[in-house]
Structure 1
Amino acid sequence: MRKILTIVGILTTIYCPAQTEKAISDSAKFNQHVIKNTTSFIFDGQKPVGDGWASLEKQFAANQFVAWGEYHNSPLLSQLSCYALESASKYGFKTWCVETSPFVASELMRIAKTKNPSDSIVEISRDKGSYGTFPFFKTREDAQMIVAANKYNYTIWGIDQEYQMAFPYCLAKVYNAQPAKIKAQYKAVYDSLVARWWMPKVKLLDSLKNGIKQNNLRMVLDDIKISRTIYYEDDAQMRATLMKKNFYNYYDNSKSKNEKVFFKMGANHLAKGLNLMTHLYDIGNSAYELSQHNKTNFINVFFVNRYTTEKGKIIDDLENPDNEYPKEFLKLYDKEKWVVVDLRPLRIRYSNDKTLTEDTYQIIYKYDFVVVSPEVMK
């Protein structure tokens, strides 16, 4: 009995300090690992320079699918994407997947081959409001991307819905491609569609479709019909399903099942697991699972923008109680540099002790890199 008590006393002496030692909070763990896994690069519109950029470039060598989850309508990010397209092409990437419809993607490729793509893009969106005719492809900086894509022989895959602002453009393209006889026969139908372009009647779309023979243009009218339903019903599930359907249509008809694809889309669409906003399985998760099936790799990058300008006033997302981005990442902002955090080593066993915000836990497990931009968005 005395021997047993002695052993218990020794074990108690050994193990009690470990039990009473204060646990390291998630925020402390996060800060320790961020310091070790953060690099940066400088980019002023010319070639990006720095270890952070080298880290992003390496991903094109190691992965079949590389996904850049952007904040939209950034001139600087469009310029940076030109260098990404160049870098990716060196590692066999010839496909660029974007947040447009299939028809608009084909139009972007056509425009890229014209004498002056920048003027064409700007003209198409002139007087069309802040969204333009083709959202995310409306400025000279955006046009630089399609020029780069053409230069490096990319095929553009547009996997999204037809955006409402593009309805009149698409309808005009379909109608004007018809012989004079068909145009005369369907002029009243076309005029009625254009008169209510933002929500065209299905029976009129079907009527025009039945009168034309070009299969690609018939598909444009189908896309408008699907998209009007997505808008009218605010149906995120239908949109996510459409994105995956369009992607697999392209993928199944590609030359190789190991086709390398560079995605540049809104960050929420590219999450592993559930989309953070819609809580649906989106295209990012599909690409991730496809890479697992192919025994290749998928990497996704979450771009963060801290400062925006509204009515001449600079808005700091860090001070916003309804912040768009996790505060832990906003704090990494550097006005001179793009800050790159490799999240993969951060996936240690966090206890979810609430010392990190919930959205931070989500980002750590749904994305592989975070890039904090120095840009002040206008």
Structure 2
Amino acid sequence: MKSFITLSIIVLFFSCKEKPMDSVAVKVEKTNPAPIIDASYIATKTRYFTITDTAIVGEGRAMLERIISKSQFVMFGERHGSKATSQLITRLIPMLHKAGFNHTAFEVGPYSAKKLVALSTPPSTTVENLKQFTTQYALEEDHEIPIPFFDGLEDAYFLQAIRERDMNIWGLDQEYYSSTLFFMDELLTFVTDSPDYETIKSEKEQASKIIASWYVKDNIPDSKIRLFDEIQKEPVVQQYLSHFRGNENTKKIVEDLEISWDIYTRWREDSHADRISYMRNNFLTNYKEALQTELNPKVFLKFGNLHASKILTNGCYDLGDLVTQLAKEQGSKATIINTWHRYYSNEKGEEQDYLEKYASYYKRLRDFMTLAKRDQWTIIDLEAIRSDIQERRIALPVNGDYHKIKSLIDGYDYQLILPLDKRVTPNKN
């Protein structure tokens, strides 16, 4: 009898143990794996728009309006020198300003930003003033631009649009590689009332001549000179700068110029992290100043797409990360937009398809790039895709494509693919 009872207990025990396992097995059988992300799925998150002389039109406009209305920070990661991009920014500025964006930030130096304000005062003179300025300070080949990303006609138009609405301009980056001669002249304007003005002016002319000669040497192919080390070794340059180091109005200009020279000199030796920290600090300085008059200052940032990412890029947490973190602290939102070219017309007028030209780069992102249109802007909602992944409605591939696709989706909120594009129209004589 005892053995029967013991056996019954054992059978009951094992039958109870098996039931949860059976239910798990049933669950597994009933759960279908999420489909893998592909072009047909991405197309459902994609809209298109075009740009007319006065507006943005098409389904994609609603997506842009939603981005602007919901964001405190809009970070535009551009392809430098793009005519289409500058045309888009010109159309975006009125929309941004209407939504309360009073501040813009660019990949130029702090003092260069102030110069851009001067060159666009009054706004109606912007195009001609920029043309004269760029022409005056253009050197040979690699040193043709004193202030970057504002040397094209289309750039002048969007700057004019900003200034017509009295939006602020923040310069966050180092002063540009080819800006030194412009700075020599700018410093001189601060001492026009000095009794030693003629002497200082003579020193400036000598210093500028020597600086120009070093730029010529630097322009020689395969030149390995450390340009700014050589410039700073020149006694006449140091003599000229000495007039401005102790001046309250100019000492910060000299300090920023020397920081810029140092970053460029050490660019092969890991100065990138110092550059990014410099940009982040400059943003925070401007932002704290804006907080004195606004509760949640809205800022539009236009930088190269490497700087826009909100994940680790090139060993640094860049501006995209900074505004994302600030938005979290403020309980607001930062929206990060990435851009690509697919169709591009080069300087010879030859049309190129970047999906073919850079096939090795885009092959793992092909399902995104194939949605591009030659005559329309393509905008893909990466935020919605990210949400679908988190909710297990769609899955990332398990092969090597996983890493690039995940980096794109985690690093940016929207992907823009430009229509047929070319370089900006040069705005100089």
1:206 Cα offset (Å)? 5.5
Contact 1:328 1:360 survives alignment (8 Å)? no
1:18 Cα offset (Å)? 5.1
Q: For residues 183 and 338 of structure 1, do their structure 2 counterparts lie closer, same or farther at Cα, with a shift above 3 Å needed?
A: same
- 1:263 corresponds in structure 2 to 301
Q: Distance in 2 between matches of 1:256 and 1:207?
A: 43
- 2:218 corresponds in structure 1 to none
Contact 1:193 1:204 survives alignment (8 Å)? no
1:7 Cα offset (Å)? 5.6
- 2:335 corresponds in structure 1 to 299
- 2:422 corresponds in structure 1 to 377
Q: TM-score, normalised by structure 2?
A: 0.78
1:357 Cα offset (Å)? 5.4
Contact 2:84 2:421 survives alignment (8 Å)? no
- 1:124 corresponds in structure 2 to 133
Match of 1:215 among 248, 257, 267: 248
Q: Distance in 2 between matches of 1:138 and 1:9?
A: 69
Matched residues, percent identical? 21
- 1:237 corresponds in structure 2 to 273
Does structure 1 residue 272 correspond to structure 2 residue 313?
no
Paired letter, 1:304: W
Q: Distance in 1 between matches of 2:328 and 2:23?
A: 46
| Worse overlay, 48-57 or 342-351 | 342-351
Q: For residues 214 and 145 of structure 1, do their structure 2 counterparts lie closer, same or farther at Cα, with a shift above 3 Å needed?
A: farther
The count of residues paired between Structure 1 and Structure 2 equals: 372
Q: Deviations over 1:314-343 (max 9, x none)?
A: 332212244379433321110121111111
Does structure 1 residue 342 correspond to structure 2 residue 381?
yes
Q: Distance in 2 between matches of 1:165 and 1:111?
A: 18
Q: Deviations over 1:217-242 (max 9, x none)?
A: 33222222111111111011111011
Q: Distance in 2 between matches of 1:374 and 1:233?
A: 37
Q: For residues 211 and 36 of structure 1, do their structure 2 counterparts lie closer, same or farther at Cα, with a shift above 3 Å needed?
A: same
1:135 Cα offset (Å)? 1.1
Paired letter, 1:54: A
1:46 Cα offset (Å)? 3.4
- 2:199 corresponds in structure 1 to 185
Unaligned runs of 5+ in 2: 1-10, 216-227, 424-429
Q: Distance in 2 between matches of 1:16 and 1:284?
A: 40
Q: For residues 219 and 10 of structure 1, do their structure 2 counterparts lie closer, same or farther at Cα, with a shift above 3 Å needed?
A: closer
- 1:315 corresponds in structure 2 to 352
1:12 Cα offset (Å)? 8.5
Paired letter, 1:123: Q
- 1:195 corresponds in structure 2 to 210
Paired letter, 2:104: W
- After superposition, the CA RMSD in angstroms is 2.8
Contact 1:45 1:76 survives alignment (8 Å)? no
Q: For residues 188 and 110 of structure 1, do their structure 2 counterparts lie closer, same or farther at Cα, with a shift above 3 Å needed?
A: closer
Report SS of the residue matched to 2:51.
Answer: coil
Q: Deviations over 1:76-131 (max 9, x none)?
A: 21121112111011111110111111111111111111452112212222344475
Q: For residues 214 and 120 of structure 1, do their structure 2 counterparts lie closer, same or farther at Cα, with a shift above 3 Å needed?
A: farther
Match of 2:169 among 156, 160, 178: 156
Contact 2:47 2:380 survives alignment (8 Å)? yes
Q: Distance in 2 between matches of 1:195 and 1:354?
A: 57
- 1:81 corresponds in structure 2 to 89
Match of 2:63 among 18, 37, 55: 55
| Worse overlay, 116-125 or 237-246 | 116-125
